[in-house]
């Protein structure tokens, strides 16, 4: 849902004033009802304003009235809306009306966003921001923060649509903060929906659901039907994901989840029909189709999709048409209508390439692969597989199946162990050489005292040369320890990951195996890239931990959950920490804390906070068997690992270990905290 800057205008009363022409009085009412998100009233008064403006021959009021009318038609008749808004926009430019150029640019941005043209949409949103900066700080400074809130929200929506979730979340948080500070309920509501949608795309469903529920309550309180429909649709998506996940893991879906998804989608669809919102009608029919597909009710699914295509074409929304075609192609495959499946998937691929949507391209090529397999056309099966690999390569910047053997060779357990032994031996040799150098240095210093003034300068230079070499040897030894630490990324994790990939292929779950390989290769690539750096930015370390835990969670079949909490101020700071300092803690929490505790699902939390300007706290908490019991299980490995972390922290920080207990002194888990001075 995108926000129109018109929401930010208001007037003091709905009662017509004594000094304004009738058309301008109606325009004031449009502004007020737009602020209250009462779109039907806006359409009513915009029509009255246009009639009055024509009678009064008032071109300023006529341009503004047609602008409001165009906004009311945006979702149902986008071409007609564009004609009216563009005509009004040209009038605003002639009059150098920065106030309405702000709203006009924003509406044109909304139009291009609906057509699936993100670059054009962003261009007009930035124009809206530029015009707003010229007008509002000077003429209406109190409303300027709301203008900025609306800008950040609309930009966040675009980045969400193109799957740039980090940028989307960044702008959405800014929009929400400004909206709350300045009591702009419509933007607060819209920002909540974007934040929930981003968390949903990142599969953080436990955090997304309460945000969608909060948005639903806020939309109901404001009688904002458009936002209410979006919140209901997103809640339906959450429950559809639960149903789909159960099917994927060969479990029987919970009937309550299916019914809740259907109820949310049905209510959202009714709202979209009431508002003649064709893009939303198409989207919600697509969702109902997906729900029917999970129940293998392909006839009902096809009916939904055929209607979804009609509404996508009515709205001229290429993204909506692409999604409907993609789902319809899959439906045709399931019902063995192979020729139709190929034709439909090919049309969807053309749109996906035009929109540069790689997320939709991947399943489309899998659909083609399945269709050609049913035709026994294995040459085209191979072509589809190659296209899928190319898409994955672009999406993840890595290859897929061809990398398996390379990964097995590079990260095979036996070779890693030999590498560790070699590095250990080299490290000991360097330390012995360092001690010998230090002894030589002391001897040379004693000799210098006995030599006369003539040789003092020469020997002084020699002393400095030896000291420099000694410092280099110390640095080399420290780097060797660092390499040793990185090499000790648990070989069992690497071996088990490769086994998981092999198992997925044996079971015929090709797409999941390819995704696992891509993420696993990216993790290894991060390790190799950071190997030459003693310290790295804190946010890179946290991103690495999130990738590692995500991969472990998929490998272990959701035996545990994890959560990473990080202050925004810390994420955007330039704080540096020793590289890979947190990974051993997360690994210990998982392997020696969470997994040994049977009978309950594990939970790992990584919490990063800043205390003052100089101190940072990093905590790793789990609900496992407790530190001392895990120490008994893991033995010297865990103990030596913790000691090595303390050594790496040095004077810069310290590590605290504490068992979490209840009032009965029963162990609930372990908390390990790193306190660093930055």
Q: Average pLDDT of the chain? A: 80
| 531-583: pLDDT as tens digits | 667 788 888 888 888 888 888 888 887 788 999 998 777 777 888 888 878 88
Min mean pLDDT across 77-86, 105-114, 213-222, 467-476 is at 467-476
**What is the average per-residue pLDDT within 110-127?**
87
Structure tokens at 502: 């092999």
Half-sphere exposure of 425 (CA within 13 A, CB side): 6
Q: Are 329 and 314 a contacting pair, CB within 8 Å?
A: no
Q: Which of 151, 162, 69, 62 is nearest to 110 (CA)?
A: 151
Alpha carbon distance 348, 476 (integer Å):
56
Query: Torsion angle, CA of 216/218/222/228, rounded to 10 degrees?
Result: -20
185 pLDDT higher than 80? yes
Instruction: Give pLDDT, residue 5.
Output: 52
Q: For 207-341, where are the E strands, in sequence order?
A: none
Site of tokens 């390569």: 393
Instruction: Give pLDDT, residue 281.
Output: 92
| 408-451: pLDDT as tens digits | 434 444 454 555 556 556 666 676 777 777 777 767 766 766 67
| 190-224: pLDDT as tens digits | 888 888 888 888 888 888 889 889 989 998 998 88
**What is the average per-residue pLDDT within 33-58?**
84
Considering the chain, what percentage of its residues have pLDDT values greater than 70?
81
Phi then psi for residue 567, to 5 deg, are -60, 140
**What is the average per-residue pLDDT within 55-80?**
86
pTM (predicted TM-score): 0.47
Q: Are 378 and 385 a contacting pair, CB within 8 Å?
A: no
Instruction: Give pLDDT, residue 399.
Output: 39
| 17-39: pLDDT as tens digits | 446 788 888 888 888 887 666 77
Min mean pLDDT across 16-20, 369-373, 465-469 is at 16-20
User: What confidence tier does 262 reach under pLDDT thresholds 50, 70, 90?
Assistant: very high
84 pLDDT higher than 50? yes
252 pLDDT higher than 50? yes
- Of these ranges, 30-39, 54-63, 419-428, 475-484, the one predicted with the greatest mean pLDDT is 54-63
Instruction: Give pLDDT, residue 409.
Output: 38
Instruction: Give pLDDT, residue 636.
Output: 54
Alpha carbon distance 187, 172 (integer Å):
10
Instruction: Give pLDDT, residue 251.
Output: 86
User: What confidence tier does 673 reach under pLDDT thresholds 50, 70, 90?
Assistant: very high
User: What confidence tier does 288 reach under pLDDT thresholds 50, 70, 90?
Assistant: very high
Kindly tell me the burial class for residue 580, based on how many C-beta atoms sit within 10 Å of its own C-beta (0-12, 13-18, 19 or more): buried
């Amino acid at each position: 849902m995108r926000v129109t800057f018109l929401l930010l205008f208001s007037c003091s009363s709905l009662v017509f004033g004594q000094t304004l022409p009738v058309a301008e009085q109606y325009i004031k009412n449009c502004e007020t009802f737009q602020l209250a998100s009462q779109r039907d009233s806006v359409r009513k008064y915009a029509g009255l304003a246009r009639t009055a403006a024509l009678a009064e021959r008032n071109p300023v009021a006529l341009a503004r009235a047609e602008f409001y009318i165009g906004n009311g038609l945006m979702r149902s008749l986008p071409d007609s809306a564009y004609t009216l808004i563009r005509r009004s926009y040209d009038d605003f430019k002639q009059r150098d009306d920065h106030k309405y150029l702000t709203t006009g640019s924003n509406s044109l941005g909304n139009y291009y966003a609906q057509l699936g043209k993100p670059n054009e949409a962003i261009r007009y949103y930035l124009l809206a921001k530029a015009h707003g900066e010229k007008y509002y700080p000077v003429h209406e400074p109190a409303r300027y923060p709301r203008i900025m809130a609306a800008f950040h929200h609309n930009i966040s929506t675009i980045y969400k649509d193109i799957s740039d979730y980090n940028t989307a979340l960044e702008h959405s948080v800014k929009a929400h903060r400004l909206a709350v500070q300045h009591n702009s309920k419509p933007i607060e509501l819209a920002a909540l929906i974007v934040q929930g949608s981003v968390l949903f795309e990142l599969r953080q469903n436990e955090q997304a659901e309460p945000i969608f529920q909060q948005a639903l309550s806020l939309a109901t309180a404001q009688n904002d039907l458009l936002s209410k429909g979006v919140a209901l649709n997103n809640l339906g998506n959450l429950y559809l994901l639960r149903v789909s996940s159960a099917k994927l893991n060969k479990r029987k879906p919970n009937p309550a989840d299916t019914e809740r998804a259907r109820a949310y989608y049905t209510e959202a669809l009714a709202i979209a029909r009431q508002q003649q919102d064709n893009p939303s009608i198409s989207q919600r029919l697509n969702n109902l189709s997906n729900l029917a597909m999970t129940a293998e009710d392909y006839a009902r699914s096809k009916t939904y999709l055929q209607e979804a295509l009609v509404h996508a074409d009515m709205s001229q929304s290429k993204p909506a048409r692409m999604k409907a075609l993609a789902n319809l192609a899959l439906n045709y495959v399931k019902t063995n209508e192979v020729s139709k499946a190929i034709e439909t998937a090919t049309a969807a691929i053309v749109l996906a390439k035009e929109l540069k949507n790689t997320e939709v391209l991947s399943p489309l090529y899998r659909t083609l692969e399945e269709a050609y397999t049913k035709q026994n056309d294995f040459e085209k099966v191979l072509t589809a597989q190659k296209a899928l690999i190319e898409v994955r390569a672009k999406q993840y910047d890595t290859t897929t199946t061809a990398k398996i053997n390379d990964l097995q060779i590079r990260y095979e357990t036996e070779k890693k162990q030999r590498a560790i032994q070699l590095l250990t031996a080299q490290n000991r040799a360097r330390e012995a050489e360092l001690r010998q150098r230090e002894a030589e240095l002391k001897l040379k210093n004693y000799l210098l005292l006995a030599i006369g003034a003539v040789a003092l300068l020469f020997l002084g230079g020699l002393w400095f040369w030896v000291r420099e070499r000694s410092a280099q040897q110390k640095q080399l030894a420290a780097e060797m320890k660092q390499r040793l630490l990185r090499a000790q990324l648990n070989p069992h994790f690497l071996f088990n990951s490769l086994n998981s990939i092999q198992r997925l292929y044996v079971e015929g779950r090709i797409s999941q195996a390819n995704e696992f390989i891509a993420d696993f290769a990216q993790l290894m690539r991060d390790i190799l890239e950071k190997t030459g750096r003693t310290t790295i930015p804190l946010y890179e370390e946290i991103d690495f931990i999130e990738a590692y835990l995500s991969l472990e969670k998929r490998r272990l079949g959701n035996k545990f959950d994890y959560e990473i909490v990080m202050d925004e101020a810390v994420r955007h700071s330039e704080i540096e920490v020793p590289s890979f300092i947190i990974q051993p803690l997360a690994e210990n929490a998982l392997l020696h804390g969470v997994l040994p505790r049977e009978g309950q699902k594990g939970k790992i939390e990584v919490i990063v906070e800043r205390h003052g300007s100089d101190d940072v706290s990093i905590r790793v908490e789990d609900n496992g068997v407790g530190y001392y019991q895990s120490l008994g299980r893991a033995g010297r490995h865990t103990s030596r690992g913790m000691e090595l972390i303390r050594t790496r922290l040095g004077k810069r920080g310290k590590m605290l270990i504490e068992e979490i207990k209840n009032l009965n002194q029963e162990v609930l888990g372990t908390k390990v905290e790193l306190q660093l001075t930055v």
